[in-house]
Every structure is written in C-alpha cells, then in structure tokens.
A and B are shown apart, each in its own frame.
Chain A
C-alpha cells in the first residue's frame, strides 16, 4: 500500500521540487529516475506474489479512495517508469542547464513529473471519479507539453480532450445515478441488475476515452500534436499518454461492467482496432516527414491494443485463450512504450544532426551516426514484430489467440499490419544506409545522447528475450483467468 502511495506521490513531490529548485530543477531527474524505476521494480516483484492494494488514508471504500495494483498495472508501471526515466535523462541533455532555452527548461520539468504522477495514478486507481481526476491531470500536462511544438495542434488536442472528459464525466454521473457507487468492484457487484442508463453511461465513457486514446475515427489530432513536438515530448505523448486512457477503458469493460459486454460491443472495438491498424499503416506509408511517419505508426499500433476486446472474449465469458490475449495486450502496450519512445528520441537526434526532418535528409546517416541508427533499427524491429523483441511476443500471442478462438480475420489484420509496419519503417532505414559518402552533421549537444534511444531499444528487446516473467506478471491479475487453457498458449 505504502509502495503504491509512494509511486503516485513521489512524482508530485518532484513536480513541486522542480518548481522550487529553479535553475537546479533539471538535475532532480538524476534522483527521480533511479528512485522511481527501483520502486516500480519493487512493486512488480511484490505484485508477482500477491496483488497490492489498500484504501488511501485508511478510509473504507464508499468514502475512501482505493489504490490497487494488479499484474497489468505493475507491468505497465515498470515499463512507463523505464520509458519516463530514460526520456527524462535524454531531456536533461536537451533542456538541461547548459542550453539557452531557459523558459522551456523551467516549464518542461513540472509538466514531466505531473504527467508521470498522472500515469501512475491512472494505473492504480479503482474509482471512476478518481480516474477522472487523474486523466484530467494527464490531459493538462500532455496538452501543455504538446504546445512546445505547435500551439495550434495543442489547441486541437485540448478541444478533443475537453470533449472527451465531458463525455466521460457524463457517463460517470449516469452510472452513479443508476448503481449509487463509483468503485469499480462495487459497480461490478451491482451492475447485473442495471438498467439502460448504465449502458448509455458506459457508451459515453467509452466515446470519451476513445477520443483521448486516438482510436481510428477520432485519431485526427494525434499526428500533428505528436509530430510537431520536441523529441522528448513526442516520446512521452506517444508512449505513455495514450496508453493511460486505454487502461481506463479496459478497467471499465473488463472489471466494472463485465456483465454488460455484449458481442456487438466487443466486435465494435475489434473492428475499430483493425481499421486503425490498416488505416494508420497506410497513412504512415505515405508520410515524407520522419516524425509524422512515426506519429502515424502510433495510430496504427494503438489499434492492436483494442484487439484484446474480441480476442479475450469480453468480460464474463472467460475463455482458454483469454489469458493469452490479455498477455499479448500487456506485451504490446509495454513494447510499444519502449520502442516508440526510442524511435522518437532517435529520430529527434537524426533531425537535429541533419537539420532536415524529411526522408531525403536521412541519406547516409548510418555512417555518421551508427549508434543512433542501430537504436532506430532495433526499435523498428520491435514495432514490426520480428523476433526476439517484445513486439514479436505481443503479435505472436495475439495471432495464437485469434486462431484459437477461430477469429481468423483478426489474424490476417495482424499479419498485414506487421508487413505494412515493415514497409513504412524500411523506408527511413533504407535512406540511412543509402549512398557511399558520410554526410556532414551538426554535432549533438552531448555525445551520450544516442545512448538513451539505445537503452530503450535494448529494453524492448529484453522484454522479448526474457518474456516468461513479464507474461506471468501480466496475466496474474486476471480475474478467474482461463488458466486451464494457458498451457497451449504460454510462450
């Protein structure tokens, strides 16, 4: 319990400290990065044996606020801690004490820690209203960070976020009016006799969260906002922010309202996810800007997450392949966090060095920046889903559960998405290795900066190489998981 409390409260403390510390604020990351990662590792070890949880301040449930970490929350918290820590260290090189951009170096850090706290709060909250407060903190920090790149894109993002939070809040009110509680497990107990208003509330909540997650028809705000931002910001937005709203969606449908999950709803999520994979990949293929390409790839990769709805078979009907699909989703979320953050950081370094954000600016860069190119390629391998990466584990488990459940159209989409990812990621890679001359590059502010994307890429690979422990952790929180059928699906 104290561990969960610390994981949410410490980033908030760092947020205040970075405001107070002024000029020395950026250096706090040297303390925050190892501390938070260590705590997240500790949490993962603890949850591995038994779920962690408790009520804040000792107040019991209807009044107090429950914090609880299941396996998925612990795994995602560890992945996001690694991502945020490395991105923070990278940002120290870009917005650190040595650069002239003083306003940004002051404003970046409080927003960074606020975002980290909000992500952790979303992962461990078990109360619809508490989740609302956490996702609002996340949205404010994310929009403010996005405004570093383009204010117009940030404004569009803000409008979508406002509309999304209103829809979510209205849904919460309707559900509260119908069942008289906001706690997820209490809703699950009372919802079976629930009325249409619960269904409408759940639909509103889903619509709001889909807008914030940028699932297919509501994805339009994401590429401009993520593509225009500075590299460290893009990495945080693409890796962490959109995952948080997806996790709330999972909690609502799988934990609070398992009885409400009808085949039509499950299929609806699945079809939108599949459409996101195909449409996002097709648009990524057509991009000429490197960061725009990576941003559209995020649209496509988010689609895979939603395949967990049809593959895990909704809430109550726990099937033998549900655990596999659940694990696949956890692997995909974690691997995408690490690999996408790595790609954005590597792309940022390349754009800085070549002074050109377009494809043709990359020609021959592999000879001038071997470490960065290697990191980019490793992250690309994970996104394509090639072994031995974490992305491979995700897509392999997804394929198996889609075939085991007889839903072969999803298998076709997963394979097509992997091939298209290879096609759009080989385009920049081919440019990097093209030609024979070594291009002249602008020197990087620090020579160690390429190590940040490399570390993220190695983490994404390690997730695939050491997949047994994370898999066990991710499926350990599953309520009445189809453990019987696990043997065939287990990696």
Chain B
C-alpha cells in the first residue's frame, strides 16, 4: 500500500512536470492573449499536480499541500478571470492612449 502511494506520488509529480513543460512552451511561443492565458492555466495545473504528488510520501497523505493547492487554485482562478476581463476590454475598445494595436 505504501509503495503504491509513493509510486502514485511520483506519477503525479511526473505528469505535473510534463504539464509545466507543455504550458511553458505555449506561454512563450504563443502571442495571442487567450492562448497565453490557457497556457498559464496549464502550467498552474501542472504545479498543483506536482505539489499534490509531493504530498504522497511513504506513510500517507500530507494535508498541508492539499490545503495550499485549494488556495492556489482560487488565486489562479482570480488571476485568470481578471486577465480575461482585461483582454476583453483591450480587444473591444483598444488602448486608452493613442496606441490602438491590440494584442501584439
């Protein structure tokens, strides 16, 4: 049982690492704001998965990462909502100063 938990922990951690790498590629290679925002969320999910994976150590599940992951998800959600709102405003009415090229 303990071995299974430890194994599962490293499986989660490795999946998390793969998600971080994929998301990072998307974040730096894509210029479109919404795609970068999605990439941000992919990286975030990867980090939370990695965090959860570290919680599986030999004897059982550590409650601290669990609590922190929930907080982290709330923060990421708030950031995503805010970034999406800003992107919509930017696309709809351009910039406030005389510089209307949206997105880049």
Contact size class for B? Answer: 20 to 34
Answer whether residue A129 sits at the interface, using C-beta atoms and an 8 A cutoff.
Answer: yes
Given contacts A147-B86, A151-B90, whether A129 and B68 have CB atoms under 8 Å apart is yes
Q: Which chain A residues in 156-197 approach chain B with CB under 8 Å?
A: 158-159, 162-163, 165-166, 169-170, 173, 176-177, 182
Given contacts A165-B79, A173-B50, A176-B51, whether A150 and B99 have CB atoms under 8 Å apart is yes
Residue A150 contacts which of B33, B51, B97 (CB distance < 8 angstroms)? B97
A173 engages B86 (CB within 8 Å):
no
Answer whether residue B64 sits at the interface, using C-beta atoms and an 8 A cutoff.
Answer: yes
Looking at chain B's contact residues, is the secondary structure mostly helix, strand, loop, or mixed? helix
Q: Which chain B residues in 60-104 approach chain A with CB under 8 Å?
A: 64-65, 68, 71-72, 75, 78-79, 82-83, 86-87, 89-90, 94-97, 99, 101-102, 104
Most chain B beta-carbon contacts within 10 A, residue among A139, A143, A173, A177: A173
Q: Which chain B residues in 28-54 approach chain A with CB under 8 Å?
A: 33, 36, 40, 43-44, 47, 50-51, 54
> In the complex, what's the smallest C-beta–C-beta distance from B26 to chain A, in angstroms?
12
**Chain A: interface residue total (CB-CB under 8 A):** 30
A74 CA to B92 CA, complexed, in Å = 44
When C-beta atoms are compared, the residue in chain A nearest to B24 turns out to be A166
**Cβ contacts under 8 Å, A170 to chain B:** 20, 47, 50
B99 engages A152 (CB within 8 Å):
yes
A192 CA to B97 CA, complexed, in Å = 52
Residue A169 contacts which of B33, B36, B47 (CB distance < 8 angstroms)? B47
Answer whether residue A155 sits at the interface, using C-beta atoms and an 8 A cutoff.
Answer: yes
**Cβ contacts under 8 Å, B65 to chain A:** 176
When C-beta atoms are compared, the residue in chain A nearest to B71 turns out to be A133
When C-beta atoms are compared, the residue in chain A nearest to B57 turns out to be A180
> In the complex, what's the smallest C-beta–C-beta distance from B33 to chain A, in angstroms?
7
**Cβ contacts under 8 Å, B47 to chain A:** 166, 169-170, 173
A170 CA to B68 CA, complexed, in Å = 13
B82 engages A140 (CB within 8 Å):
yes
A173 engages B71 (CB within 8 Å):
no
Q: Which chain A residues in 108-163 approach chain B with CB under 8 Å?
A: 129, 132-133, 136, 139-140, 143-144, 147-152, 154-155, 158-159, 162-163
A144 engages B82 (CB within 8 Å):
yes
**Cβ contacts under 8 Å, B96 to chain A:** 148-151, 228
Offer 9 A-B interface pairs, CB within 8 angstroms, sorted by A.
A132-B75, A140-B82, A143-B82, A151-B95, A154-B86, A159-B36, A163-B27, A173-B54, A176-B65
Further 7 A-B residue pairs, CB within 8 A, beyond A151-B94, A152-B101:
A147-B86, A158-B86, A166-B44, A169-B47, A173-B50, A173-B51, A228-B97
